[in-house]
Structure 1
Amino acid sequence: MIQPGDVIPAIPVKHVTAAGVTDETADKVLGGGRVVFFAVPGAFTPTCHANHLPGFVDNASKFSAAGVDRIVCGATNDHHVLKAWAEATGALGSIEFLSDGNGALAKAMGLDKDLSKAGMGTRFSRLAMIIDNGRVERLFLQEEPGVTTSGAPSVLMALETARSK
């Protein structure tokens, strides 16, 4: 599993922004400055849709004030679904999206989760990261159900604590 100090791998992904969809690699999308990356098991799924994404959208200005250059949401959904989800939630513009349609990035980072029993296949585990210039600074892996460890309040608290030192 990827750990603090590790670099983001150069795995092909689709990058969904307000400007459109581009083919990129994860190290390019998540590199270049201070990035908060959070991953969800699936767009439009109940917990991801109602509890995880909204916290980052609602607090985008607080993340910026804490020195974050960009917020990126990752999921193993295809880029069409991520774009539709971003538009439906009003997130497009304040949050960028990373489509890992085949789960290659999730697997490469050791952050994949087999949800085949639920008919969902391989997905990202629920998580968040603080990434500084392509290197993982902090990892917030959600072990229990719900959105606590990996939610916006936890990540903001870690950023604020780091700034006050």
Structure 2
Amino acid sequence: MSIQPGDALPEVPLQRIANGGVETVDTRALFGEGRTVLFAVPGAFTPTCSEQHLPGFVQNFQQFRDRGVDVACLSVNDPFVMQAWGESQGVPDGLTMLADGNAEFTRALGLELDASGYGMGTRAKRFAMLIEDGVVRELFVEAPGEYRVSSAEHMLQQLG
């Protein structure tokens, strides 16, 4: 069963590039205070992720910030891939690119996707969630092959 609104996020370490190296940070430190939209993509540099999903959050990043909401992107990739993808997409400072290299967080959420048919192994389903003080308030998981409810535009509508 996957995580649901009202559930606390599981405590799992994730990685990112910070201060010139790999930094491991747990989900409590990342999401324990304040409001954050966390969106996940099946893979960095993949078509829908690179042409629509991440660009939507890049383009609308300031609108989230104006509403006091942080934004983080998650993928089952390594932190170096996430950094390179962020740089190639012009990700602004403050939009956190998170790596879940072994899919531990993704599995703990119950939102894993078997993409082995595409040679990609275990990945995250495409989703977006609003987290407030470490608790999931809203969760939108895409049906396979779709991109609608996890978009930046949809998440902004949920924020009002």
TM over 0.5: yes
% identical aligned pairs? 43
Deviation at 1:7, TM superposition (A): 0.9
**Cα distance in structure 1, aligned partners of 2:49 and 2:76:** 13
Structure-2 residue corresponding to 1:163: none
1:136 aligns to 2:142 (yes or no): no
**Cα distance in structure 2, aligned partners of 1:135 and 1:53:** 23
Contact 1:10 1:28 in 2 (8 A): no
- CA offsets, 1:138-161, max 9 Å, x none? 00111142321100011000001x
Structure-1 residue corresponding to 2:5: 4
Contact 2:128 2:151 in 1 (8 A): yes
* Distance change >3 Å, CA 24–CA 85, structure 1 → 2: same
- Between stretches 23-32 and 81-90, larger displacement belongs to 23-32
Structure-1 residue corresponding to 2:16: 15
Contact 2:58 2:92 in 1 (8 A): no
Deviation at 1:37, TM superposition (A): 0.3
1:59 aligns to 2:63 (yes or no): no
- CA offsets, 1:117-154, max 9 Å, x none? 11000000000000001110000111142321100011
- What is the DSSP-based 3-state SS (H/G/I as helix, E as strand, rest coil) of the residue aligned with 1:59? helix
Contact 1:6 1:135 in 2 (8 A): yes
**Cα distance in structure 1, aligned partners of 2:109 and 2:150:** 16
Structure-1 residue corresponding to 2:156: 156
* Distance change >3 Å, CA 145–CA 27, structure 1 → 2: same
1:38 aligns to 2:42 (yes or no): no
Structure-2 residue corresponding to 1:120: 120
**Cα distance in structure 2, aligned partners of 1:29 and 1:19:** 19
**Cα distance in structure 2, aligned partners of 1:116 and 1:85:** 22
**Cα distance in structure 2, aligned partners of 1:32 and 1:109:** 19
- What is the DSSP-based 3-state SS (H/G/I as helix, E as strand, rest coil) of the residue aligned with 2:42? coil
Gaps of 5+ in 2: none
* Distance change >3 Å, CA 155–CA 93, structure 1 → 2: same
**Cα distance in structure 2, aligned partners of 1:53 and 1:94:** 14
Structure-2 residue corresponding to 1:83: 83
* Distance change >3 Å, CA 18–CA 147, structure 1 → 2: farther
Size of the alignment, in residue pairs?
159
**Cα distance in structure 1, aligned partners of 2:59 and 2:86:** 13
RMSD: 1.5
TM value normalised by structure 1: 0.91
